[in-house]
Amino acid sequence: MTPPLQLSKRSLPAKPSDGIGGTTGASIEFRDVGYRYPSGLEVIKGLDLGIGRGQSIGVVGPSGCGKSTVLSLIAGLREAQAGQVRVDPDGTGRHLLSMVFQKDTVLPWLTVEQNVRLHHTFTKAGHGKRSRQSRQAFDERIRELIAMVHLEGFEKAYPYQLSGGMRRRVAVLTAVAALPQILLLDEPFSAIDEPSRVAIHQDVFDIVRELGITMVLVTHDLAEAASMCDQVYIMGPRPTCVFSKHDVPFGAHRDMMSLRESTDFLDLYSTLWRDLHLQITAQQAGEATRVDGEVNE
Ligand SMILES: Nc1ncnc2c1ncn2[C@@H]1O[C@H](COP(=O)(O)OP(=O)(O)OP(=O)(O)O)[C@@H](O)[C@H]1O
The per-residue pLDDT for range 95-121, each reduced to its tens digit, is 899 999 887 778 999 999 999 888 776
Burial 261-274 (b: 16+ CB within 10 A, else e): eeeebeebbebbee
Give 123's contacts (C-beta < 8 A, 6+ positions apart).
Answer: 95, 178
pLDDT the model gives residue 29: 97
Q: Pocket of ligand 1, candidates 36, 37, 39, 224: which has the most ligand atoms within 8 Å of its Cβ, to mutate?
A: 37
d(CA 176, CA 76): 19
Q: Which residue minimizes the CA distance to atom 11 of ligand 1?
A: 64
Per the structure, the count of domains in the chain is 1
d(CA 168, CA 193): 12
For residue 182, give the amino acid letter.
I
Max intra-chain CA distance, the chain: 73
Tell me, what CATH number does 232's domain have? 3.40.50.300
| pLDDT, tens digit only, all 297 positions of the chain | 333 334 444 444 444 444 455 688 999 999 999 999 999 999 999 999 999 999 999 999 999 999 999 999 999 999 999 999 999 999 888 889 999 988 777 899 999 999 988 877 666 554 456 677 777 877 888 888 888 888 999 999 999 999 888 898 899 888 888 889 999 999 988 878 888 889 999 989 998 998 899 999 999 999 999 999 999 999 999 999 999 999 999 998 999 999 999 999 999 999 999 999 999 999 998 877 765 554 333
- Ligand 1 atom closest to Cα of residue 72: 18
Kindly compute the dihedral angle of the four CA atoms of residues 25, 31, 34, 38, in this order, to the nearest 10 degrees. -40
Strand 214-218 versus strand 56-60 pairing type: parallel
Order of strands, sheet of 182-186, starting from the edge strand that comes earlier in the sequence:
97-100, 182-186, 214-218, 56-60, 231-235, 242-247
Q: Is 161 contained in some domain? A: no
Q: Is 231 contained in some domain? A: yes
Residue 159: count of CB within 10 angstroms of its CB = 18
Q: Is 88 contained in some domain? A: yes
- Residues with C-beta less than 6 Å from any ligand 1 atom: 37, 39, 41, 43, 61, 63-69, 238
pLDDT the model gives residue 47: 97
Q: Is 163 contained in some domain? A: no
Q: Is 206 contained in some domain? A: no
- Ligand 1 atom closest to Cα of residue 65: 21
Q: What is the number of residues in the chain?
A: 297
d(CA 52, CA 57): 10
In the chain, alpha helices (H) = 67-74, 112-116, 118-122, 132-148, 164-176, 194-211, 222-228, 256-259, 263-296
Residue 285: count of CB within 10 angstroms of its CB = 11
Q: Is 77 contained in some domain? A: yes
Task: Look up the domain containing 275 and give its range.
Answer: 23-96+213-287
pLDDT the model gives residue 205: 94
- Ligand 1 atom closest to Cα of residue 218: 22
Q: Is 145 contained in some domain? A: no
